[in-house]
A and B are shown apart, each in its own frame.
Chain A
């Protein structure tokens, strides 16, 4: 097990390294580094001094090593706009994005699993057909447009929910969270639902397919032949088997949920990392862009690792092999 973990960690470090090369090349070789790293207001003399100070006159590989050693020390440059370390900015915005992404994932499971289960158990019923049609819609609806429509209906027309922002926050673990206050939760409902829409459809489809496949298995019939109650057959024998693919996919999707929160955050003016990156791209605040990309890649790697470990906990067959 520990050998397996070590191998995975080395792999993760390699991917991180590869991404740092890509981001470095993207920022320093494709884009104009002077434009990127030096404030556009600087005069000629300042520029020359800054170029020398930043080592932009050195060969590219030396620059990369400098970039890398700074990155390892957690220094990814300062934001032009906020004049603060880029990584610190990301850290400040991360809780907003994380709570949104986790809220959406939670909603996706909470809504998707029961609907998928229902659709899988009664595949020919009218309810199941409506659920499946809804899930096709969930895949096709453009997220940002649904967000706008949610605001229009629930904030503008009905006035039930606040339209934008995070609302009141409370401190926990040294960070500010919305989900800890009533007002914050009310602000979170629509963005989380909006972000969850695609995942709900995904969970419904996975669950339904899993249920239909599992119900045909001999072990389900055998469980019934043992005289188990329908609740136990479905709740334990079927459910535990479909949980494996659902958890895997939802877990792996967490990374993509964090990435796609860019759209939802823009619609609902939710002050998370996604809103920050869009603003930064618009004003060419590239140190922040670099910091965002590197931290999101890191998140991806961590999520993949955790899902793999979780998977081996859930599925006894995998557990044996990895030992």
Chain B
């Protein structure tokens, strides 16, 4: 740590103050793999966001589709000879590349959306459990234990069995499946932080509870929350794809990656691999890049691993 104001006279070159955030950033980029994964993931997000602008065709605009172009191999030209289907077409004559770009949008929105909602709910309940303690804590943590003792797919199936199919039900199922991870993480961290002297000091100053929670406890719970959140986004995307593949998820009119893969299932036995193959690659690259970033975030943010 360099003392910037010591001596008063301005230094020739202002020394960089090492804030925790800057240290975190520089440590993160020390890993080439994680940096690469982050770049890949950023590209994926950009592709998803700008899909309407950069995709060769709008895969949902039936006017643009030509059934004559159905099931063309990768690299084929379309019937009107105006464009190339680099990744082939599906049975509707839909360009797979465009389909994947739009499918990424849906997968990312569903995955990230449910992860954020689950984080808000889970973190609030975890904080409540840690702060209130007693019976509230017991009830919340029993629920968490129950939730975590069931495999994600089973909980999701149960909810979809009760509520029926549909995109909102899938999002709801994902939130139910995921909230417990956040709750457990936040409660664990908050319980440790609560016993620290600075919280006691804040309580002695009679600061309002709300202020203690949001200004003191929550910021300290952020690092583990970020790590769990990253991994959970990947898991949510994978689970959504699985549910959509099983025909329980998104509607056929707006296919996510999982549904694109399912659509190609029946054609695969006749050797038309590309309809399922490329969406799967897109899904795989997305999940792997998020997981690699998450893995490294855990290493960087975990104080126990620091020397």
Question: Could you list which residues of chain A lie within 8 angstroms of chain B, going by C-beta atoms?
Answer: 18, 23, 26-27, 30-31, 136-137, 139-145, 148-149, 151-152, 155-157, 163, 255-256, 259-260, 262-263, 266-267, 277-278, 281-282, 284, 286, 289, 293, 296, 300, 304
Contact A151 B268 (CB under 8 A): yes
With A137-B288, A148-B280 in contact, is A27–B162 under 8 Å at CB?
yes
| Chain A residue at minimal CB-CB distance from B149 | A300
Contact A140 B280 (CB under 8 A): no
Q: Interface segment, B61-69, B73-81, B243-251?
A: B243-251
Contact A263 B247 (CB under 8 A): no
Contact A262 B271 (CB under 8 A): no
Instruction: Name the one of A136, A281, A304 contacting B248, with C-beta atoms under 8 angstroms.
Output: A281
Does B234 touch A at the CB level, under 8 Å?
yes
Determine the distance from Cα of A286 to Cα of B162 in the docked complex, in whole angstroms: 9
With A259-B153, A296-B154 in contact, is A156–B269 under 8 Å at CB?
yes
Does B131 touch A at the CB level, under 8 Å?
no
Per-residue interface assignment for chain B, residues 67 to 102, with 1 indicating a CB less than 8 Å from any chain A CB and 0 otherwise: 000000000000000000000000000000000000
Determine the distance from Cα of A256 to Cα of B153 in the docked complex, in whole angstroms: 8
Contact A156 B268 (CB under 8 A): yes
Across the interface, which residues of B come within 8 angstroms of A300, CB to CB? 149-150
Scan residues 274-307 of chain B and give those whose CB is less than 8 A from a CB of chain A.
276-277, 280, 283-284, 287-288, 291-292, 295
With A140-B234, A141-B284, A148-B265 in contact, is A259–B151 under 8 Å at CB?
yes
Output the least CB separation between B113 and chain A (Å): 19
Contact B271 A149 (CB under 8 A): no
Determine the distance from Cα of A179 to Cα of B232 in the docked complex, in whole angstroms: 37
Does B241 touch A at the CB level, under 8 Å?
yes
Across the interface, which residues of B come within 8 angstroms of A151, CB to CB? 268-269
6 nearest A-B pairs in the assembled complex, by CB-CB distance: A256-B151, A26-B162, A145-B280, A259-B154, A259-B151, A140-B288
B interface residues, how many (CB within 8 angstroms): 40
With A151-B269, A263-B153, A263-B246 in contact, is A293–B284 under 8 Å at CB?
no
Contact A282 B158 (CB under 8 A): no
Question: Could you list which residues of chain B lie within 8 angstroms of chain A, going by C-beta atoms?
Answer: 146, 149-151, 153-154, 157-158, 160-165, 234, 238, 241-242, 245-248, 258, 261, 264-265, 268-269, 271, 273, 276-277, 280, 283-284, 287-288, 291-292, 295
Contact A136 B288 (CB under 8 A): yes
Contact A255 B151 (CB under 8 A): yes
Contact A26 B153 (CB under 8 A): no
Across the interface, which residues of B come within 8 angstroms of A143, CB to CB? 242
Instruction: Name the one of B146, B161, B268, B277 contacting A281, with C-beta atoms under 8 angstroms.
Output: B161
| Chain B residue at minimal CB-CB distance from A260 | B153
**Further contacts, 13 of them, CB under 8 A, given A136-B292, A141-B284:** A26-B162, A141-B287, A142-B242, A142-B287, A145-B283, A145-B284, A148-B280, A152-B273, A262-B246, A263-B246, A281-B248, A282-B248, A300-B150
Determine the distance from Cα of A139 to Cα of B162 in the docked complex, in whole angstroms: 29
Instruction: Name the one of A26, A142, A304 contacting B238, with C-beta atoms under 8 angstroms.
Output: A142
Determine the distance from Cα of A260 to Cα of B241 in the docked complex, in whole angstroms: 14
Output the least CB separation between B165 and chain A (Å): 8
Contact A260 B157 (CB under 8 A): no
Contact A293 B153 (CB under 8 A): no
| Chain B residue at minimal CB-CB distance from A286 | B161
Output the least CB separation between A83 and chain B (Å): 20
Across the interface, which residues of A come within 8 angstroms of B264, CB to CB? 148
Instruction: Name the one of A31, A144, A152, A284 contacting B268, with C-beta atoms under 8 angstroms.
Output: A152
